[in-house]
Structure 1
Amino acid sequence: MRGEHDRVRQNKSIILLSVGHACVDVYQGAVAALVPFFVAERAYTYAAVSGIVLAASLLSSVAQPVFGALTDRWAMPWLLPVSTVLGGIGVAASGLGGSYPLVLVFVTISGLGVAAYHPESARIARIASRGSHTAMGWFSLGGNLGFAAAPVVVAAVVATGGLRLTPLLVLPALVGSVLCLPVLRALNTAAPRNTGTAAARGSDDRASFAKLALAVVCRSIVFTGLSAFLSLYAQQRTAGGTTAGTAALFVLYLGGAVGTVLGGRLAQRWGRVTVMRWSYLLTAAAVAGVVFLPGPVFFVFAALTSAGLYVPFSLQVTLGQDYLPTRVGTASGITLGLTVSIGGLVSPILGGIADATSLQTALAPLIVMPVVSWLAARTLPEPAAPAALGEPARA
């Protein structure tokens, strides 16, 4: 009876964490979704808007491993509601001031909130999922749905009244912070039973983790580059205006939601590393289609690119945690944060190339990145997933 009760509680926690994850990742997607509106209302150049994407990513790239290391030493579940609100406030304030430096400050604040959220939420999700790839896939799905919803939410708010209405974008943060509270109460209730030796431990495989990190970095360069410029590129390739741009971003993010769930199921049959390798090869071909094929087929290849990028997404997180079992928070901070955010550092380079030549020329090098990820993953071992997970009580 107690076992059934525990399973129900864990499933509820995963669902709430997934929805909260969606509310937070709206703000990662919202920065890219705001790019066309900054271009239209304030005449920002490609380089300028890529700087906004960089500002949202730069602090996050440094902060997530720091927060991950902190959560390895001390449990900080209170970070979930606090960081969710911080992420929302930054995006909500980004459209208020006409000053470009102020915009950079606000999106940086949002990036800090997202950075604080991910390592601790991944640690808690790992406990609730008991190491299940499928359950972690559902947790990651929430983030992907948040990405997918971002262009729709931003368009619904900003397209009707301009950037002055961005304060309304704080609403998902308020919802997400409230949804965190039942999970925190459940953790406090379960703490006495988790005390002792429940945590799964092992030796760290730093070499494999480094190869995984390289693969994720290259994947993040593709995703961040497309997130920053796909909406503008879709307008050029399909002649569909801002509607086509919003639709392209929606396809990119929604395909990620499908890919994440599919990845967990495929990994149960063929293993995480094998699924990752094939996904990277699919992504290389799909990105080539996005870059070079015009018309409606553009959206088909955008969807394939999204699936290829996101099939390995949750698998990379659990692989990182299994390669560094004594530093789960750090592994989560790097795979969910540092490596993902490094892609933002490349965006200004792509923007500069686009200003000097064309968007097609700037996006073409992204085709090579998934091939590098495939090469990095070729020699990765498949670690044994822990049979059960818990957490010892920490001060």
Structure 2
Amino acid sequence: MPRNRSIVLLSAGHACVDVYQGAVASLVPFFVAERAYSYAAASGIVLAASLLSSVAQPAFGALTDRRSIPWLLPVSTILGGLGVALSGLGGSYPLTLLFVAVSGVGVAAYHPESARIARLASQGSHSSMGWFSFGGNVGFAAAPLLVTAVVATGGLRFSPLLVIPAVVGSVFCLPVLRALEKTASAGSGAPTVTGTDDRGSFLKLSLAVVCRSVAFVGLSTFISLYARQRTGGGTAAGTAALFVLYLGGAAGTVLGSRLADRWDRVTVVRMSYLVTVGAVAGIVFVPGPAIYPFIALTSIGLYVPFSLQVTLAQDYLPSRMGTASGITLGLTVSIGGLISPVIGGLADATSLRTALTPLILAPALSWLLFRTLPEPATPFGAEPVRTPGPVAAPGPGSPFE
């Protein structure tokens, strides 16, 4: 199967899975309206899905390091959709928590193995990995539209219809898995992973991802309210700010992978974080509608490193690619979510502007950490290209060629 087709299918499947990362939060207003859940109860539902998913991902990563489990992709996709689909049935709060937790486990099981397979299918291409990550961004952003279209039509009793993306996503996985099985039967195998684990660099990278997560989660939580304050606008001003933040993320993911095909990943990520420092400062201090370009620049700056950090983590821990993917995509991201209540408490005690000001330091810390990181040689046989120029076509022999 041609490499590009495999990546397109994996990206589409990734979008179908990450719909369920955004779906739980999108269901909260409907839970509050139909079941009279308190805000605390509603936030508990989101926490049950996101925290369990983030913490479980490294465990699934360690499991996939011991053995390849490609069938986990369609199974986990269905599990993620089934949990969300069942969460709208019945009125029991414990059952609702259980169902969204099941969805979180499905999402957690999907990402480490899918990232490993996508890396093999891409033959180490940063551009291909960027498109794989882009699929997840699209799915996350589409979740509110999908949930509103379904649940606003017929209420929570229509929630079983939300399983449809999971069914579609599981079907997208099948041709890629058949290609893997065919390759294994032919005896050509996957590329041999070489290299020594660099745990020190992986730790620094993980800390940089934590700082990035603090900045992005903090802004995504409060940017709508802050934009309304700074522009003097209403709900539309806040919604526009959140839309720009998400849209810029999708653009940044693709841009980052393209830049990394011309320059090394560490340099691209380092410069991106440096630009983000100024962009976040613009959000905090620039008044009026001029805040929107800074929101877009911040989003792009925070998402340029997104897929590059995953491949860097895999290259720093070549013998434990699943663990590296699970920690980078899951555990470090959840820590950013834990900081949001601190920002909210500070905003209650002072002002939202004061509470958001420390977020300027987050990309600055990421930049400092990346200043000491080396560019690893990729375990897929392709040395990083460090100067502008045409990207060489992949050589023959790939299991996805």
Q: Give TM class, smaller chain.
A: 0.7 to 0.9
2:256 aligns with 263
Q: Give the CA deviation at 1:178.
A: 1.5
Partner of 1:187: 180
Partners of 1:147 and 1:253 within 8 A in 2: no
Partners of 1:352 and 1:267 in 2: CA distance: 39
Q: SS of the residue aligned with 2:374? A: coil
Match of 1:225 among 218, 235, 243: 218
CA distance in structure 1 between the partners assigned to 2:299 and 2:374 by the alignment = 25
Report the equivalent of 2:79. 86
The 1:309/1:165 distance shift into structure 2, 3 A limit, reads farther
Aligned pair 1:322/2:315, yes or no? yes
1:28 is displaced (CA, Å) by: 1.7
Quote the offset at 1:60 in angstroms.
1.8
Structure 2 residue 166 is matched with structure 1 residue 173: yes
Q: Conserved in 1, the CA contact under 8 Å of 2:244 and 2:296?
A: yes
Tell me, yes or no, if structure 1 residue 29 matches structure 2 residue 61.
no
The answer to whether structure 1 residue 275 and structure 2 residue 288 are counterparts is: no
Structure 2 distance, partners of 1:225, 1:166, is 29
Residue 67 of structure 2 corresponds to residue 74 of structure 1: yes
Q: 1:125 aligns with which of 118, 128, 132?
A: 118
CA distance in 2, matches of 1:97, 1:235: 37
Whether the 8 Å CA contact 2:214–2:362 is kept in 1: the answer is yes
Q: What is residue 17 of structure 1 aligned with on the other side?
A: 10
Secondary structure of 2:373 counterpart:
coil
Q: Secondary structure at the match of 1:126?
A: helix
Query: Does the Cα contact within 8 Å between 1:50 and 1:347 map onto a contact in 2?
Result: no
**Total equivalences in the alignment:** 384
Per-residue displacement from partner, 1:329-355 (whole Å, max 9, x unpaired)? Answer: 111111112112222222333344455
- Using the TM superposition, give the Cα deviation of residue 268 of structure 1 relative to its aligned residue in structure 2, in angstroms: 2.2
| Distance apart, 1:122 and its partner CA | 0.6
Q: Conserved in 1, the CA contact under 8 Å of 2:7 and 2:131?
A: yes
From 289, 292, 296, the equivalent of 1:299 is 292
2:183–2:189: 8 Å Cα contact kept in structure 1?
no
Q: 2:389 aligns to what?
A: none
Distance 2:238 2:154 in 1: 18
Q: What is the identity, as a one-letter code, of the residue corresponding to 2:183?
A: A
Find the aligned partners of 1:234 and 1:115 in 2 and give their Cα distance: 33
1:206 maps to 199
User: Cα offset for 1:44?
Assistant: 4.5
One-letter identity of the residue aligned with 1:307: I
Structure 1: runs of 5+ lacking an equivalent: 1-5
For the pair 1:371 / 2:364, whether they are aligned, the reply is yes
Superposed CA offset, 1:258-294 (max 9, x none): 1111101111222111111121122233233334445
Normalising to structure 1: TM-score of the pair? 0.86
Instruction: Summarize deviations over 1:364-395 as a string: whole Å, max 9, x none.
Output: 33222111111111100011123449999xxx
Once structures 1 and 2 are overlaid, which stretch shifts more, 351-360 or 307-316? 351-360
**Which one-letter code corresponds to 2:130 in the other structure?**
G
The DSSP-based 3-state class of the residue aligned with 2:319 is: coil
Deviates more, 1:363-372 or 1:303-312: 363-372
Identity of aligned residues (%): 74
Partner SS, residue 269 of structure 1: coil
**Partner-residue secondary structure (3-state), 2:169:** helix
Structure 2 partner of 1:3: none
Give the 3-state SS of the residue equivalent to 1:270 in structure 2. coil
| Structure 2 Cα separation of the partners of residues 64 and 391 of structure 1 | 28
Deviations 1:148-206 (A, max 9, x none): 22233334344555555444332222211121111111111111345568412111111
Pair 1:141–1:369, CA change in 2 (3 A): same
Distance 1:106 1:368, change over 3 A: farther
Give structure 2 stretches of 5+ with no counterpart. Answer: 383-396
Change (3 A) 1:152 1:229: farther
Structure 1 position 139 matched with structure 2 position 121: no
> Could you state the TM-score of these two structures normalised by the residue count of structure 2?
0.84
1:152 aligned to 142, 145, 148, which one? 145
- Aligned residue for 1:385, secondary structure, equals coil
Secondary structure of the structure 2 residue equivalent to 1:276: helix
Q: What residue is the counterpart of 2:334 in the other structure? A: 341
Which amino acid in the other structure matches residue 292 of structure 2?
F
What code does the residue aligned with 2:274 have?
A: L
- The residue identity in structure 2 corresponding to 1:286 is A
Letter in 1 for 2:143: A
Q: Is residue 282–residue 308 contact of structure 1 (8 Å, CA) maintained in 2? A: yes
Is 1:56 matched with 2:38? no
Distance 1:156 1:240 in 2: 26
Q: Distance in 2 between matches of 1:239 and 1:99?
A: 41
Amino acid at match of 1:169: L
Task: Indicate the residue corresponding to 1:111 in structure 2.
Answer: 104
User: Which stretch of the first structure deviates more once superposed, 56-65 or 203-212?
Assistant: 56-65
RMSD, matched Cα: 3.0
* 1:290 counterpart residue number: 283
Pairwise CA distance, 1:243: 4.7
